[in-house]
Structure 1
Amino acid sequence: MGVELHVMNLLPGYILKEDVWVQSNTPIVKKETELTEETISVLERFNIQTVVVLEESIGNGADSNEHLPIETSVALQNGEIESVEKRFRAVYAEAIHEFKKQFYSWQSGVQPNVASLRPIVLPVVHCFNEEEETINAVCMDVPAKEYMYHHPIRASLVADRLAKRLGYSKAYRNQIILATSVMDSGMARVPTKILLKRDELTKKEEEVIAGHIHAGFETVRETSHLRDEMKKAVYQHHERLDGTGYPKGEKFHEITDLSQILAVADVFCALTEKRPYRNSLSIYETIETMRYDLFGKFHLKVIEALQEEIGFFKEGQAVVLSTGERAVIVGMNERNVYRPIVRLRGKMEATPLTGDRFIQRIV
């Protein structure tokens, strides 16, 4: 199966499905050619805009050793979903498969269509709720190179749960789900080399990334499938209450509650995802970061809704620490609920959690 991609999104290792022609009797690059940096440069010099590559070769691009299997007992083989666990895993995998197709088309220049996302994202969110999955299920391990496909789906799941806790109706929540799924559609216009860069971004590259806000807003500006307040939320989802966000640096009352729901879902999922330049954080390290380290950037009521969704620690719970040690919670820390007092296995004394020692997961 072929996927049409813009030349700026090509990576070494992709394989051409079709010949690439200019005004000559022979192709400048033949089909079945495995792309290299030199080949991509040739395409750029000839001002080739798009090419068709084999879809199965996309996982063989540069740094393919990062393309690890998803640790969710869900496999996508020959277009069929194989799931030996819960129905949600299968529905989620199918949603990712379909969202990838959408993202590839956006990269080749097709304008994102909100209506086309409805049959992709709404079923997985509804299944998530029907199966009564916890938010922990959202934080499955996925390859760093795949984050741009998983992030919109994961963020939609979280945004829906936040909206439910904040009292929004099911119909309104569907609007929030759609807005969340399309809020980062502008990322398709960012060159893949920047999206997958392992090193620190340059100032110019940061500006390119920030430009996804305007591109994403253009996607929804004229659509009849989203309310105006949802369109504004898409535009504002990188704004922060203290004025440190973008694109306008708006503050407090200028930022809507809906924007904050999208923002909190966006940041929570981003921090719990592997990215090419960093590892993921645990759920508890993430919520601690958002609650304390990023205090003042998000509406407290939205953060509290996230805390309630994740749940709080209880005395007697067995846990695994970031150091790999096993422990039991024996007391609470009033100053930081995510740093309880524990007793390490084989030890008698109680130990407060400080520094890089935090709870990785509940056993």
Structure 2
Amino acid sequence: MSRIGVADRPATDAPQPLLRERWQGHIDGKPVDLFTIANAAGMTVRATNWGAKIMQILVPDRHGRFGDVALGYDSLGDAQTGQPSMGAFIGRYANRIAAGQFCLDGQRYPLSRNDGPHHLHGGTKGSRFRVFDAEQVDGATLRLRYRYADGEEGYPGNLDSEVEYHVSAANELVISYSAQSDRSTVVNFTSHVFFNLRGDDGDILDHRLTIHADAITPVDGTMLPTGEIRPVRGTAFDFTVPMGVGTRIDEDDTQLVQADGYDINYVLRPRNEAVAAVARLADPQSGRVMDILTTAPGLQFYSGNRLSGAVPRDRGKSGRLYGRRDGLCLEPQHFPDSPNHPHFPSTLLRPGQRYTGRIVYRFGIDRAPTDRTGA
């Protein structure tokens, strides 16, 4: 695997950049804008401070042609009528909390319920719908801040949060985040970018995926963890060796059937490094490879099952309709519903403590053409 440098980069063939003026406006009385960060080799990321949403990631293929590997929207208006999680930074609590409640220090905290009887991705107006304060630190770095108010969506504590997006010289999108609270609370952040390493060209079923995890946390019919830690060996969930995403996605497995594909948390193997590689995604056609590194104990793999080409929700960049499985998410995070499962890694944050984490999406090239799509 090798990297593309300035000398290798063609002068043309890059996708059209998003237009900043189409992202400027006000939501809840706060200014919204589009920000661009890039490195000297040409890797470029564009994000809006509404929901801290990443809307474009430009990286080269094996021929040096730049492609857009993130699903997203052309304008703020399109994003507002689109999928709320598309590209978003998720808080105060990523994923689901059962029955919209948890107990902490003997007190029950009822949360907003926005996924049937459950609480999902921070609630009815979680971070996906909030305007972050933005600071363009330099040409490669964007810093975003948001204060979750005490009682917002039902959570205790004023939670001051910060997320930083940085494009490194090594063609990495580095997402660093932190938070502090004045009351005991629970916190679980993640990034919800939808990836297609081929760019705007078809589904992700022949992408090859590796996940360094030997178990999953299976879910019930409402997509809530049962509490079981289930080994993946010999099942359709085994990605311990590279496997095509579509190879076993339609097997008659209850976990696959009820989600219409993959939508499951992986229990990542213990690592010695603070930030360690936990997964790899590769597209045989373009040669693009993405390594995922993180500090988190879990990885939610979602295969884009509920993308449906619906208008306006799935009308993406350049008018493309995002259909079923046209993108996938690999979301490093704590386990879903952790506050209600004491044996899961804790998401408890006490006053005086600092919650920190990092996600790295590292892009590279496999120069050898291949048509491998399965085992």
Larger proportion of helix: 1
Q: Which has the larger radius of gyration?
A: 1
Fold match (TM-score > 0.5): no
Larger proportion of strand: 2
RCO (CA 8 Å, sep 6+): is it higher in 1 or 2? 2
Q: TM-score range by the shorter chain?
A: under 0.3
